[in-house]
Structure 1
Amino acid sequence: MPSPARIRQSVQVPLHHGLGAVLQADLMTFTGLADVGEHLAVRLGPPAEVPLVRVHSECLTGEVFGSARCDCGPQLTEALRAIDAAGGVLLYLRQEGRGIGLYNKLDAYRLQQQGLDTYEANRALGLDEDLRDYAVAAQMLGALGHNEIDLLTNNPDKREQLLRYGIKVRDTVSTGVFANPYNTGYLRAKVVRTSHTIQLKGSA
């Protein structure tokens, strides 16, 4: 288990994010995180003995500009709604492009336009397929007092890493499928290469 982190500050912020009704959220910052990153926790909904948790990696292109090349924007909106209903927290990690950064991610986009999948593109740039480490997520959960959670994800690596870092995952709740003509190859690569539980049409 990583060393403990502490809540640095908590501030109430109303969120709309295309959600219709405004959601009342507490946004929390932390000190003592392993990577010294500026990661956020977004607490929503009623108190829950076992909170619903989404560990969500930042995606500027998908969440701010609405890129259709991924499913990150719709996943974020889905998670905010689900957590507000069930009670829990969204951990927003500043790990753009599975940890490779914004500029490298855009370089990888160009390689994908030439026929590589998202993982092959990372490798072609001399980077790992996925550089994310969820130690900071475990630290944030510990600071919030959540040692047992229900995890909203279709990525088995998130569950496995959290378990390894001492967080008990009572249940895993799959995210929705947000496929469109521009991202089906990206989603299929996640299913084939990293066993994401995404039920694509035409997949076994």
Structure 2
Amino acid sequence: MSFKIVVIGTSLGGLSALKIILRNLPADLVVPIAIVQHRHKESDDTLNKLLQEHTLLPIREVEDKDQIESGHVYLAPADYHLLIEPNHFALSTDEPVSYARPSIDVLFESAADIYAQQVIGVILTGANQDGVQGLKKVKARGGLTIVQEPTTAESCIMPEAAISAVAVDWILSLSDIASQLVKLCHPIRK
């Protein structure tokens, strides 16, 4: 199975969680990664800069209609929903979902609609239930699901909600999530 995209959703505590995952991914990872990190709608590009210090993979905030390129990490911009369309991203200012824009559910559901079983959905630390419906859809369409072990999360609410609602494939610590992504996306590594 070759995967087309990894989608990651996180909220409270997400910055430190994302740093750990990105630090443990190889520079030659080919599968693109799209991330929704809940943040204030007035946020600037500081998140991008902070995360770039921890990975060799290029990171950037998505602009509407950006092509989805292998080996890149994409961040949902503040106050926009991030959606997957065939081979590119779309941005939306539709109403918040689960009180959030960007919404994890919106990203995950659109990824599942386009790529079905070729999606890996990852839910990390967070203090609300955003992501549960999206992860359900990823699983229903045949994609793989990974959730951060709640006892290792800064806020366990989001991971626990995902685990209680979805028969997730793996419940892992942050460093194990990174190594699992490498195994899934680089199956022929020596």
* TM-score of the two chains, using structure 1 as the length reference: 0.32
* TM-score of the two chains, using structure 2 as the length reference: 0.33
Larger Rg: 1
